[in-house]
Chains A and B, each alone.
Chain A
Amino acid sequence: MDDLYREVIIEHYKNPGYRGHLDPHDIQFEDNNPLCGDHIEITIQTDENEKVADARFDGHGCAISQASADLLIESIIGKPLDEVKQLNKDHILEMLGIELGPVRLKCALLSLKVLKAGVYGLGEASDDLVE
């Protein structure tokens, strides 16, 4: 019925492939979107070549935030961390295949923000990471 709720988004929201928490992990980061109370945690295991060996996300929130997180995790497994650091909002929007207004963009980009803050080893996740 609705572009924003394309099948791919509803599907990843209802049946995420990468929901969970890795223990042990090499990278862990979590953050909220204060606007809607969305919460995302990402855990990553890296290999000796500084690549993402495995990753999971956990948390709660709207369909856009949770589906974006699932798609994002799927897309980074096997990728070098240096490449992950270069990801920006276009990467998320391409995967979602939709256009978003400024409010919902924050939902969609929360997981990327968390991911980059974790990979860069920052203390706090800033919006600048996903501009």
Chain B
Amino acid sequence: MSLDVGSIRKQFPIFQRETSPGVPLIYLDSTATSQKPIAVIEAMNEYYRRSNANIHRGVHTLAEEATAMYEGAREKIAKFINAPSAKQVIYTRNTTESINLVAYSWARANLKAGDLVILTEMEHHSNLVPWHMLQAERGIELEFIPVTEDGLLDLSAYKTLLNRTPKLVSFTHMSNVLGTINPAGEIIRLAHEAGAMTLVDAAQSVPHLKVDVQALDVDFLAFSAHKMCGPTGIGVLYGKKDLLEAMPPFLGGGDMIKEVKLRSFRANSLPHKFEAGTPAIAEAVGFGAAVDYLSSVGMDAISAYEHELTEYALERLIEIPGVRLFGPDAEKKGGVASFVLDSVHPHDVAQILDKGGIAIRAGHHCAQPLHEKFGIPATSRASFYLYNTKEEVDLLVNGIYKVKELFG
């Protein structure tokens, strides 16, 4: 399967710009945030130009339109991940807030001192720190599925951990550093057999793979719009209906209530129970447009193209003397290539590449424990999306040779 990348690139206005005169943008940082197609930008502009109003409760034309657009986007997102109902799609600010919602609402109602939560060594800080905070407050216990030398989760160690009857297994579907695509279905099945709930950090997977929450049988799943061609400031928590209904509200305020008295309130039904205050309406509209855009290209085609591109990138990068790549081979990973180059600090690599218009990320990518595990303070990371090309990979490789020359 192949994409018409030429015409895809034309749909992203940012690729018309140069980073400095005569230097076109080579954007290899989509794991941090993706670029936005004109359809998303226009949908948000159009909302502000024509339909801007606060949602719900209003009866005037604009309020009706804004509400329909906001809720219509929710329907599209639900369909995109095959959620049984749009009521199970809770808007949040981002993946981080979605995970925190589970940690504050579900976990504080269901976990007590000594209860075990299983995480993994490849988690982003957003799926570590909320649990550290709960550990400090509640005295829960944390254990971690180890990462093997080739960047995979050690499933036999996981099975051993499951003997300790954890209450929750929370893990990333796709590592933002190693690119590893974890066998989510199997991890979830094993967790359920052991009587544990599951939370999947799908920030990196939903943008790049077809994710079906019912096929996965996942209890909670979190992702962000901005990594999937949508705007920043909006994300989703998907949850199973009975769980969400039983959970206490998260933030209190307008819209999350059915009724308020001076000394009490009754919480609203799903999904509004978890959406206090005026939400990111234009962003929801943009999120809906992003889902439409990705669906029109086709998630299977996107995955297949990224796989081909990643395979090519890994082949080219490993040819460079002094490059050490992290993570599994292309078969088991998404479009991420994290590496170190000789003794050159990743920030220097990134800075020199930037002069050639090449945007990569350098640092620990919010996964400090994973870097410690591999004994390095930081990596350089190039990541790919549907708009990247093999020519851009070649330019990256040439750029790395320039870095070597300068520091040689």
Q: A104 and B347: CB pair below 8 A?
A: yes
Q: How many residues of A contact B (CB 8 A)?
A: 17
Q: Which of B222-230, B255-263, B322-330, B348-356 contacts A (4 or more CB under 8 A)?
A: B348-356
Within 8 A of B (CB), among A68-106: 104
Q: Complex formed: what's the CA distance from A77 to B338 in Å?
A: 41
Given contacts A1-B406, A2-B406, A10-B406, contact A37 B348 (CB under 8 A): no
Q: How many residues of B contact A (CB 8 A)?
A: 17
Closest to B347 in A: A62
Indicate whether B56 reaches chain A with its CB closer than 8 angstroms.
Answer: no
Q: A37 and B377: CB pair below 8 A?
A: yes
Q: Complex formed: what's the CA distance from A14 to B347 in Å?
A: 16
List the B side residues contacting A10 at CB < 8 Å: 406-407
Q: A36 and B377: CB pair below 8 A?
A: yes
Q: A2 and B345: CB pair below 8 A?
A: no
Q: Produce 1/0 per residue, B333-374, CB < 8 A to A.
A: 000000000001111100110010000001110000001000
Indicate whether B378 reaches chain A with its CB closer than 8 angstroms.
Answer: yes
Indicate whether A120 reaches chain B with its CB closer than 8 angstroms.
Answer: no
Q: Complex formed: what's the CA distance from A43 to B348 in Å?
A: 26
Q: A61 and B352: CB pair below 8 A?
A: no
Q: Which of B352, B355, B363, B402 contacts A36 (CB 8 A)?
A: B363
Q: A37 and B364: CB pair below 8 A?
A: yes
Q: A61 and B406: CB pair below 8 A?
A: no
Q: A1 and B402: CB pair below 8 A?
A: yes
List the B side residues contacting A36 at CB < 8 Å: 345-347, 362-363, 377-378
Given contacts A2-B355, A36-B362, contact A107 B377 (CB under 8 A): no
Q: B363 and A61: CB pair below 8 A?
A: no
If over half of B's interface residues share one DSSP class (helix, strand or loop), that class is named, otherwise mixed; here it is helix
Q: Which of B346, B352, B371, B378 contacts A5 (CB 8 A)?
A: B352
Q: Produce 1/0 per residue, A51-74, CB < 8 A to B.
A: 000000000111110000000000
List the A side residues contacting B371 at CB < 8 Å: 37
Closest to A103 in B: B347
Closest to A37 in B: B377
Q: Complex formed: what's the CA distance from A10 to B406 in Å?
A: 8
- Least CB distance, B263 to chain A, in whole angstroms: 44
Q: Produce 1/0 per residue, B365-408, CB < 8 A to A.
A: 00000010000011000000000000000000000001000110
Q: Complex formed: what's the CA distance from A60 to B402 in Å?
A: 22
Q: Complex formed: what's the CA distance from A2 to B378 in Å?
A: 23
Residue with the greatest number of chain A CB neighbours at <10 A, chosen from B344, B346, B351, B371: B351
List the B side residues contacting A60 at CB < 8 Å: 345, 377
Given contacts A36-B363, A36-B378, A37-B377, contact A107 B347 (CB under 8 A): yes
Q: A37 and B351: CB pair below 8 A?
A: no
Indicate whether A22 reaches chain B with its CB closer than 8 angstroms.
Answer: no
List the B side residues contacting A5 at CB < 8 Å: 348, 351-352, 406
Name 16 interchain pairs, CB-CB below 8 A, sorted by A. A1-B355, A2-B355, A4-B355, A5-B352, A10-B407, A14-B407, A36-B346, A36-B347, A36-B363, A37-B371, A37-B377, A61-B377, A62-B345, A62-B346, A64-B347, A104-B351
Interface residues of B (CB under 8 A from A): 344-348, 351-352, 355, 362-364, 371, 377-378, 402, 406-407
Interface residues of A (CB under 8 A from B): 1-2, 4-5, 10, 14, 35-38, 60-64, 104, 107
Contacts beyond the supplied A4-B355, A5-B352, A10-B406: 16 A-B pairs with Cβ under 8 Å: A1-B355, A1-B406, A2-B355, A4-B352, A10-B407, A14-B407, A36-B347, A36-B378, A37-B364, A38-B345, A60-B377, A62-B348, A63-B348, A63-B407, A64-B347, A64-B348
Cβ-closest 7 pairs across A and B: A37-B377, A62-B345, A62-B347, A63-B348, A62-B348, A36-B347, A37-B378
